[in-house]
A and B are shown apart, each in its own frame.
Chain A
Amino acid sequence: MAQQKTYEEINEKIKRGEAVVVTAEEVIKVVAEKGVKQAAREIDVVTTGTFGPMCSSGAFINFGHSNPRIKMKKVWLNGVEAYTGIAAVDAYLGAAQLPETDPENKVFPGRFTYGGAHVIHDLLAGKEIRVEAEAYGTDCYPNKKVDTIITLDDVNDSFLFNPRNAYQNYNCAVNLGDRTLYTYMGILKPNLGNASYSTAGQLSPLLNDPHYKTIGIGTRIFLGGGIGYVAWNGTQHHPNVLRGENGVPKTPAGTLSVIGDLKQMEANWIVGLSYIGYGATMAVGIGIPIPILDEEILMYTAVKDEDIYCPVVDFKEGYPYSKPIDLGFVNVADLKKGKVIIQGKEVITTPQSSYPRARLIAATLKEWIRQGKFELTRPVAQLPGADADIQFKSIPERNPGGISLNGNRRNQ
């Protein structure tokens, strides 16, 4: 297909305030009315959005030094530990981290009211956070203890760096057992009592660019209400899966690792979540613009909920014990209508990802681009595509017989 537009041409139009931008929802109608050819000529950018729980998220923080200086061995923010196995006052606070005092699932199901994600949200909300740090003390970093109060303004740097976000498609979770399950997909009632799903469907970034033709490393995005970038393919990026004729994966596939300055984000778009019986996690708002370089790219963005399928997975045995139980696929349009048929039974659907928020993100990004505040970027490198030789691995079960930790090599 002949190239119709370049990134540079689109950016010129954005600068002049002339770019034609529509959301991934609006584009469906435009294509239906005008046809692919004309729509591809007219539309410059399609904006996507998603807002849902994404556990693999967290923030790097550089606290600045105490006087005397400290090399933190451990650090807690409002009682939630951040990882400090890096430079002296650098730390990484994971969204799913819990305070040591959390009762967890000792009284089942646990409530998990506060975790790393809630701390990050509180930082964004401008709240005061207690920071406690311990150290063993060195000649260069003599201090052994810090106990103070900070706000986001007080730290040198803080950037969100999420190893795995924006899953391209996701499982629809059900419970074939006879007791209620408390999972990262929410509460699953027994005997196919409900079907829980988590996708923005036709608005979801990677479902609108199924072959990663425009979304790649370096792509500028809406992240948490501010501007961020795609840093890498996310962990568990697994593009070579079953796909429909439209190229859309029928199982979880690609993922993104994203990065962005926390200081310019908003509390509204980074929200701490508490999943009963499971743990703490974070709702992350992501929006990605797709430049309409040619007709093929436009066609992908016109994907409808009806064209997207999710595999149904049992969380009693199937998921936790990796048992292959075939429950077929369900359609996102049906999931959104509130009922699907699984094993001949009508099952109520439970959403986890916020469609109204996804819609708002796509609309916000559209406005930013229309006002010339946000220009598009050509990826500096592509994400591994469907033809990449990526295997989905599990932890090997081996017997650690020897005592040598670094001398033994496998397969040699």
Chain B
Amino acid sequence: MKNKIVCYFSAAQSEQPIIYRLVKNYDLVVNILKADINPLKQGYLVMELEGGKDKYQEGLSFLKSLGVIVEPLSEKVVWHDDLCIQCGACASFCPTEALAIDRDTMMVSFEDAKCVLCGMCLECCPTRAIVLHFDIKEAV
């Protein structure tokens, strides 16, 4: 199985070779998407974790046993209409019409609920008006 998760950890935990253990002991593929550790060594790690179902669960249990708080990642696509120049390019790539063009006005609009986070619009928007936003809490 494969999931994106956020791990929040404290100073003591960040001293430990967590990723190394996940890879070595649980045979998981780890892809770090974003990380932030403050000078007090507290912080978070956003990663994609992939592996066999049992190993995956064991890996998560291992993280929790260390006191790391593990939560499913909530990502969302944010459309900054102040940066958008209304070219319309993104709408032609969006598979769900979350980004859609009104053919009378040729104006683009974004409907959050329809977005399946495929990421196509992030690549094609020339003004980078569309960004991926990770929902991360303040330091735990």
A356 in complex: contacting residue of B92, B105, B128, CB < 8 Å: B105
Q: A274 at the A/B interface (Cβ < 8 Å)?
A: yes
Q: Which of B103, B123, B126 neighbours the largest number of chain A CB atoms within 10 Å of its CB? A: B126
> 8 Å CB contacts to A: which residues of B59-92?
85-89, 92
Could you tell me if A51 and B85 are in contact, using CB atoms closer than 8 angstroms?
Answer: yes
B71 → A minimal CB distance (Å): 29
A175 → B minimal CB distance (Å): 13
> 8 Å CB contacts to B: which residues of A275-314?
275-276, 281, 283
Q: B3 at the A/B interface (Cβ < 8 Å)?
A: no
* A196 CA to B123 CA, complexed, in Å: 15
B-chain residues with CB within 8 Å of residue A274 when the two chains form the complex:
126-128
Q: B18 at the A/B interface (Cβ < 8 Å)?
A: no
A98 → B minimal CB distance (Å): 15
Could you tell me if B92 and A355 are in contact, using CB atoms closer than 8 angstroms?
Answer: no
B107 in complex: contacting residue of A338, A349, A356, CB < 8 Å: A356
* A27 CA to B62 CA, complexed, in Å: 71
Could you tell me if B106 and A356 are in contact, using CB atoms closer than 8 angstroms?
Answer: yes
Known: A187-B93, A194-B92, A338-B92. A52 touches B87 (CB 8 A): yes
Among residues of A, the one whose C-beta sits closest to the C-beta of B105 is A356
Q: B11 at the A/B interface (Cβ < 8 Å)?
A: no
Q: How many interface residues does B have (CB within 8 Å)? A: 17
B39 → A minimal CB distance (Å): 27
Among residues of A, the one whose C-beta sits closest to the C-beta of B88 is A351
A271 in complex: contacting residue of B85, B105, B123, CB < 8 Å: B85
Could you tell me if A351 and B87 are in contact, using CB atoms closer than 8 angstroms?
Answer: yes
Among residues of A, the one whose C-beta sits closest to the C-beta of B107 is A356
* A200 CA to B87 CA, complexed, in Å: 11
B-chain residues with CB within 8 Å of residue A194 when the two chains form the complex:
92-93
A-chain residues with CB within 8 Å of residue B107 when the two chains form the complex:
356
A351 in complex: contacting residue of B89, B105, B128, CB < 8 Å: B89
Q: A65 at the A/B interface (Cβ < 8 Å)?
A: no
Could you tell me if B86 and A354 are in contact, using CB atoms closer than 8 angstroms?
Answer: yes
* A227 CA to B103 CA, complexed, in Å: 31
Could you tell me if A186 and B126 are in contact, using CB atoms closer than 8 angstroms?
Answer: yes
Q: B101 at the A/B interface (Cβ < 8 Å)?
A: yes
Known: A351-B89, A351-B92, A356-B86. A113 touches B124 (CB 8 A): no
* A350 CA to B124 CA, complexed, in Å: 10
Could you tell me if B124 and A353 are in contact, using CB atoms closer than 8 angstroms?
Answer: no
> 8 Å CB contacts to B: which residues of A1-57?
51-53
A354 in complex: contacting residue of B85, B93, B103, B128, CB < 8 Å: B85
Could you tell me if A275 and B123 are in contact, using CB atoms closer than 8 angstroms?
Answer: no
* A359 CA to B88 CA, complexed, in Å: 14
B131 → A minimal CB distance (Å): 12
Could you tell me if A186 and B127 are in contact, using CB atoms closer than 8 angstroms?
Answer: no
A-chain residues with CB within 8 Å of residue B85 when the two chains form the complex:
51, 271, 283, 354, 357
Among residues of B, the one whose C-beta sits closest to the C-beta of A182 is B123
A-chain residues with CB within 8 Å of residue B101 when the two chains form the complex:
338
Could you tell me if B92 and A352 are in contact, using CB atoms closer than 8 angstroms?
Answer: no
Could you tell me if B106 and A336 are in contact, using CB atoms closer than 8 angstroms?
Answer: yes
Q: A410 at the A/B interface (Cβ < 8 Å)?
A: no
Could you tell me if A113 and B87 are in contact, using CB atoms closer than 8 angstroms?
Answer: no
A53 in complex: contacting residue of B86, B105, B126, CB < 8 Å: B126
Interface string of B103-119 (1 = CB under 8 A from A): 10111000000000000
> 8 Å CB contacts to B: which residues of A167-219?
186-187, 194, 196
Could you tell me if B124 and A186 are in contact, using CB atoms closer than 8 angstroms?
Answer: yes
Among residues of B, the one whose C-beta sits closest to the C-beta of A268 is B85
Could you tell me if B103 and A337 are in contact, using CB atoms closer than 8 angstroms?
Answer: yes
Could you tell me if A350 and B106 are in contact, using CB atoms closer than 8 angstroms?
Answer: no
B81 → A minimal CB distance (Å): 12
Could you tell me if A273 and B86 are in contact, using CB atoms closer than 8 angstroms?
Answer: no
Query: Can you list 10 A-B pairs, Cβ within 8 angstroms, ordered by A?
Result: A52-B87, A186-B124, A187-B123, A194-B92, A271-B127, A274-B127, A283-B87, A356-B86, A356-B107, A359-B106
- Give 3 closest A-B pairs by Cβ, nearest first: A273-B126, A355-B106, A350-B92
